[in-house]
């Protein structure tokens, strides 16, 4: 059965790679929705919280009116990532999730929170669990108190975020702790991983700090804290220790080569929808496909602009390495995953 599934995925990977070569979208498997840019956090590597214009955020009615007519594009979606800002600042978050679940019945929700409002997060998650029993949530904590305090720009974040984690665990949610790795916290990353997994019994995940003009609005502002070649040895250890996750496998190779090392499917299999309705291939590439408030989603997704952007992605004009990107190729192209599995089996 497992072999049959692998064979099917390998076949579909072949057709997806062909479609990609012609800059044609494959069926949408996932998307990320920034429900708001409002944020009560003050992270030093992100300027979303400085954004003060929130009037144009997509409403529940906008989502229904702009996406539902294109339901056929969303039927095969397996994963919807809800991000912000701080998503839980939107009181209508459960209603948003209900509408999106109607749009994509097979989708599982993955939410993130900075953990600053434990009660609100837990109560909202209880409502979201009624819509999707398998929903998961990641609470952002950037290491032990001194590192977290420095990176998150808050004296109270560490304590509150752990309260959120504990309360989610008590309520039996699928919860993980996520850290953004920088020069400041990578030195104790493995110690923090052990603390999460052995002391608290919660899964630890990570990403590396990254730059984005249209999302984090942090261009050139992370120069002092981004990982450099000096951090690669430590990063390699972190990747080895998290080898059960797919994301770390090619990360060090990427950091050395700084190019698209696996064919990226962002903009083909998935997209990023910002809170004002603009569709991008991902959170990094500052190339809008269009805006669903101004145009029909079908025209945005299938239009000439999208095709030109896809051509750029195919010719590797951009590169990055984030868990979201890995999610995109993993869904569309099974072959790198197969390689990882074979390597593991052969003990390589
Ligand atoms: S990283 Fe998240 S929690 Fe921190 S300021 Fe940005 S949006 Fe807010
Ligand atoms: S390589 Fe990175 S920046 Fe380029 S489209 Fe893919 S996810 Fe976006």
What atom of ligand 2 comes closest to residue 267's alpha carbon? 5
Sheet bearing 79-83, strands edge to edge: 203-208, 174-181, 136-140, 108-113, 79-83, 30-34, 270-273, 278-280, 290-291
Q: Report the mean per-residue pLDDT for the chain.
A: 92
282 lines ligand 1 (CB under 6 A): no
Identify the three-state secondary structure at position 268: coil
pLDDT of residue 4 exceeding 70, the answer is no
Q: Tens digit of pLDDT for each residue in 185-239? A: 999 999 999 999 999 999 999 999 999 999 999 987 798 999 999 999 999 999 9
263 lines ligand 2 (CB under 6 A): no
| Mean pLDDT along residues 58-73 | 96
Distance CA 46, CA 138 (A): 18
Which of 33, 35, 36, 41, when mutated, tests ligand 1's pocket best, judged by the most ligand atoms within 8 Å of its CB?
A: 41
| Mean pLDDT along residues 8-19 | 77
Ligand nearest to the CA of 212: 2
pLDDT at 14: 77
Q: How close is the Cα of 325 to the center of ligand 2, in Å?
A: 7
Q: How close is the Cα of 316 to the center of ligand 2, in Å?
A: 9
Region of poorest pLDDT, from 12-26, 27-41, 46-60: 12-26
Which of 36, 40, 48, 211, when mutated, tests ligand 1's pocket best, judged by the most ligand atoms within 8 Å of its CB?
A: 48
Distance CA 278, CA 295 (A): 10
Distance CA 345, CA 348 (A): 8
pLDDT at 38: 97
What atom of ligand 1 comes closest to residue 114's alpha carbon? 3
pTM for this structure? 0.93
| DSSP annotation string for 227-255 | --GGGHHHHHHHHHHTTTSSGGGGHHHHH
289 lines ligand 2 (CB under 6 A): no
Q: Tens digit of pLDDT for each residue in 88-147? A: 999 999 999 999 999 999 999 999 999 999 999 999 999 999 999 999 999 999 999 999
């Amino acid at each position: 059965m497992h072999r049959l599934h692998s064979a099917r995925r390998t076949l579909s990977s072949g057709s997806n790679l062909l479609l990609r070569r012609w800059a044609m979208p494959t069926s949408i498997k996932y998307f990320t929705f920034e429900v708001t840019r409002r944020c009560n956090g003050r992270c030093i590597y992100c300027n979303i919280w400085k954004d003060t214009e929130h009037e144009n955020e997509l409403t529940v009615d906008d989502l229904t009116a702009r996406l539902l007519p294109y339901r056929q594009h969303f039927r095969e979606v397996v994963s919807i990532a809800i991000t912000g800002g701080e998503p839980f600042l939107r009181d209508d978050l459960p209603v948003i999730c209900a509408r999106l679940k109607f749009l994509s019945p097979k989708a599982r929700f993955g939410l993130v929170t900075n953990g600053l409002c434990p009660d609100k997060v837990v109560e909202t998650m209880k409502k979201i669990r009624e819509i999707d029993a398998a929903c998961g949530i990641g609470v952002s904590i950037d290491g032990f108190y001194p590192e977290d305090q420095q990176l998150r720009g808050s004296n109270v974040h560490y304590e509150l975020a752990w309260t959120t984690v504990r309360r989610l665990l008590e309520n039996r949610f699928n919860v993980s702790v996520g850290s953004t790795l920088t020069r400041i916290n990578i030195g104790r990353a493995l110690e923090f991983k052990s603390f999460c997994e052995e002391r608290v019994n919660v899964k630890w995940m990570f990403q590396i700090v990254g730059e984005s003009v249209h999302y984090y609005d942090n261009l050139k502002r992370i120069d002092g804290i981004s990982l450099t070649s000096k951090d690669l040895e430590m990063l390699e250890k972190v990747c080895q220790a998290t080898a059960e996750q797919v994301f770390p496998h090619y990360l060090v190779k990427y950091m050395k080569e700084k190019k698209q090392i696996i064919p990226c499917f962002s903009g083909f299999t998935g997209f990023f929808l910002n809170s004002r309705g603009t569709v991008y291939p991902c959170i990094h590439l500052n190339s809008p496909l269009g805006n669903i408030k101004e145009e029909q989603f079908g025209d945005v997704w299938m239009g000439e602009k999208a095709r030109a952007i896809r051509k750029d992605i195919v010719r590797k004009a951009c590169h990055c390495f984030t868990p979201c990107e890995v999610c995109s190729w993993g869904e569309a192209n099974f072959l790198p995953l197969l390689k990882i599995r074979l390597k593991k089996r052969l003990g390589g």
